[in-house]
Amino acid sequence: MKLEGRVLRTPGRLDIRLDFPPGTRFPRASDGQLCTIYDTEEHSWRHMNFFQYECYLHAWVPRIDGREPDGVKTVAVPWARPGSGFTLLMEAMMVVLSQTGMTVAEAARTMAETPHRLWRVLFHHVDKAHEQIDVTGVTQLTVDETSMKKGHDYITVVCEPGCQEEKRATRVLFVAEGKEATTVKEARIFLEEHGLPASQVREVCADMSPTYAKGIRVEYPDARLVFDFFHVVQLITTAVDKVRRRESIRFPHLLKGTRYLWLKNAENLTEAQQEQRRKLCRNNLQTAKAHCHLAAFQDLLKAGEVEDAVSGLKWWYNWVCHSRIPEMIKVAKSIKAHWDGIVAYLETRLTNAGAEAMNGLIQTAKRKAKGFRSFLYFKTIIYLIGSKLKFDLPISIPAHPHQTT
């Protein structure tokens, strides 16, 4: 399309008017044949600011014969997508600002636009990019929940775990509303439609939630269910704190204000705190014994050989079951009920660490935005910041000439 332009200046605004020479023919979208103009329509697009001035493009866009049954069709312009009131460069800047730390409201104020119009741009480009996500090489998944609102309003986030050897970061593949077993089915259907058959997934890591375990076993029957190491340790840590709270009623002079002495690792305590804990251990407290159970469990999971770790886990289970500490016996039986998934961790070392880090980014975005009005808005932001999407947009901020990619 050959264009001619002229610039009009008004206070605080720059208007650029584009036109085409008389007699110009335009290609038909269906077959590429050059067609004469039927008539024209005037269109305007908001462009990126020129210094301190708002910039707008205006053009009489031709309409041509699109043949039956399409009839007369408007020619697509190279600087904007159909139906948008922004140029592609302007939309690229909106995506960049929303992706790199600004809330949508802050990005809208920066660009002197309304949040509603910016959200419409994000919906379009994030949906389009997410539909083109490449999942063909994925063999491991992590499933975790994160809160959407106050209370028990959760969403399920399915990720591909990162890999240091391959220099691959964790990325979000799918987000579903709720944390039921059906969310795993929704994820499986989406991933299969995009080239990831269920049989290709070798391991799926999740917490010890029975709903996720049920969904994973049904939707990925050939995959190993791996229980996240950090959730298992958290389960034991919670049991240790329950023992401390129970004994604090009988021995307040010993255990008052000592919660973090038992929950922190030795390397995270000061010398004075370590000495205080050693003195408390001489009082034959069940809290001290429960803490030893926790420390031993953490040590055995660091074993270099899988056989040593599994045999150590069996020894730990028998030891705790004979401890006569009801809280610890309960957690040991829970670990026995989830034995295969914990052994799978010892063999694969697959964890939800990357997913938990991603949840931290998601929650930070939620707090900065002071919440989202619906699941659609929240999901869009999660894909934008966590899915490593590739957008079909021009580069709005040129790279430094010495910058490497």
> What CATH number is attached to the domain comprising 194?
3.30.420.10
Which residue type is seen at 17? R
State whether 90 and 105 are in the same domain. Answer: yes
Please report the pLDDT score of residue 135 as a whole number: 94
How many alpha carbons lie under 13 Å from residue 267 in its C-beta half-sphere? 1
Residues 358 and 314 in one domain: no
Quote the strand ranges of 67-130, DSSP E. 72-74
Q: Please tell me which residue, 164 or 289, carries the higher pLDDT value.
A: 289
Strand-pair category, 140-149 with 37-50: unpaired
**Residue 2: count of CB within 10 angstroms of its CB:** 7
> What was the pLDDT predicted at 381?
96
Q: Residue 273 and residue 257: Cα distance in Å, rounded?
A: 12
Cα dihedral 44→45→51→52 (10° resolution): 70
Least confident of 61-75, 82-96, 296-310: 61-75
pLDDT tier for residue 3 given thresholds of 50, 70 and 90 = low
| Same-domain pairing of 148 and 61 | no
Looking at the fold, whether 93 and 189 belong to one and the same domain comes out as no
295 and 270 fall within a common domain: yes
Mean local confidence (pLDDT), 112-131: 95
pLDDT given at position 5 = 53
Inside any domain, residue 209: yes
Q: Distance between CA 187 and CA 172 in Å, rounded?
A: 11
In a domain? residue 343: yes
Quote the pLDDT of residue 2: 52
Q: How buried is 116 (Cβ within 10 angstroms: 0-12 exposed, 13-18 middle, 19+ buried)? A: exposed
What tokens appear for 299 in the block? Answer: 């040590």
Scored b (16 or more CB within 10 A) or e, 156-173 reads bbbbbbbeeeeeeebbbb
Question: Does residue 250 sit within a domain?
Answer: yes
- According to the model, what pLDDT value does residue 8 have? 57
Asked whether residue 401 is domain-assigned, the answer is no
Mean pLDDT, residues 325-333: 95
Block residue for tokens 């008539």: 39
Please report where in the chains the tokens 């002079």 appear, as a residue: 253
Q: Please, which residues have CB within 8 angstroms of residue 227's CB and are 6 or more apart in sequence?
A: 205, 206, 207, 208, 338, 341, 342, 344, 345
Q: Express as a percent the part of the chain with pLDDT over 70.
A: 94
How far apart are the C-alpha atoms of 320 and 332, rounded to whole Å? 7
Cα separation, 146 vs 172, in Å, equals 13
Residue-wise pLDDT for 338-371, tens only, equals 999 999 999 998 999 999 999 999 999 999 999 9
pLDDT score, position 153: 86
Are the C-beta atoms of residues 206 and 230 closer than 8 Å to each other?
no
Chain mean pLDDT for the chain:
89
* pLDDT at site 10: 60
- pLDDT at residue number 404: 43
Segment 321-349 mean pLDDT: 93
pLDDT for 30: 78
pTM of the model: 0.86
Identify whether residues 59 and 153 lie together within a single domain: no
CA separation for the pair 203, 143 (Å, rounded): 11
Q: Residues 323, 248: one domain?
A: yes
Band of residue 403 on the pLDDT scale cut at 50, 70, 90: very low
Q: Are residues 291 and 157 part of one domain? A: no
CA atoms within 13 A on the CB side of 120: 9
Query: Could you give the number of structural domains in the chain?
Result: 3
Rank 74-78, 300-304, 327-331 by mean pLDDT and report only the highest.
327-331
Q: Does some domain include residue 84?
A: yes
Return the minimum-mean-pLDDT range out of 29-38, 114-123, 284-293, 370-379. 29-38
**Is residue 399 included in any domain, yes or no?**
no
Task: For residue 301, give its domain range.
Answer: 229-348
In the block, which residue shows the tokens 């605080």? 12
Query: Among residues 90, 108, 129, which one ends one of the domains?
Result: 129
**155 φ/ψ angles, rounded to the nearest 5 degrees:** -130, 155
Structure tokens at 172: 């979000």
Better-predicted residue by pLDDT, 294 or 267:
294
Query: Residue 63 — φ and ψ, nearest 5°?
Result: -115, 140
CB-based contact 343:317 (threshold 8 Å): no
Q: Is 396 part of a structural domain of the chain?
A: no
Residues 207 and 268 in one domain: no
Residues 295/233, Cβ–Cβ less than 8 Å: no
Pairing of strands 34-35, 26-27: antiparallel
Average pLDDT in the 153-172 region?
A: 90
Q: What is the dihedral of CA 143, 149, 152, 155, to 10 degrees?
A: -20
Whether residue 405 has pLDDT greater than 50? no
Q: Are residues 238 and 219 in the same domain?
A: no
User: Is the predicted pLDDT of residue 400 greater than 80, yes or no?
Assistant: no
26 domain-assigned? yes
154 and 124 housed in the same domain: no
Residue 268 per-residue DSSP state: G
* Residues 87, 17: Cα–Cα separation, whole Å: 14
Q: Which of 96, 129, 162 is the last residue of a domain?
A: 129
Taking residues 242-262, report their average pLDDT.
Answer: 91
| pLDDT (tens digit per residue) in 202-226 | 999 999 989 999 999 999 999 999 9
**Are the C-beta atoms of residues 277 and 269 closer than 8 Å to each other?**
yes
pLDDT in tens, 17-76: 998 888 888 888 778 888 888 888 999 999 998 888 889 999 999 988 877 666 788 888
Based on the fold, state whether residues 168 and 202 are members of the same structural domain.
yes
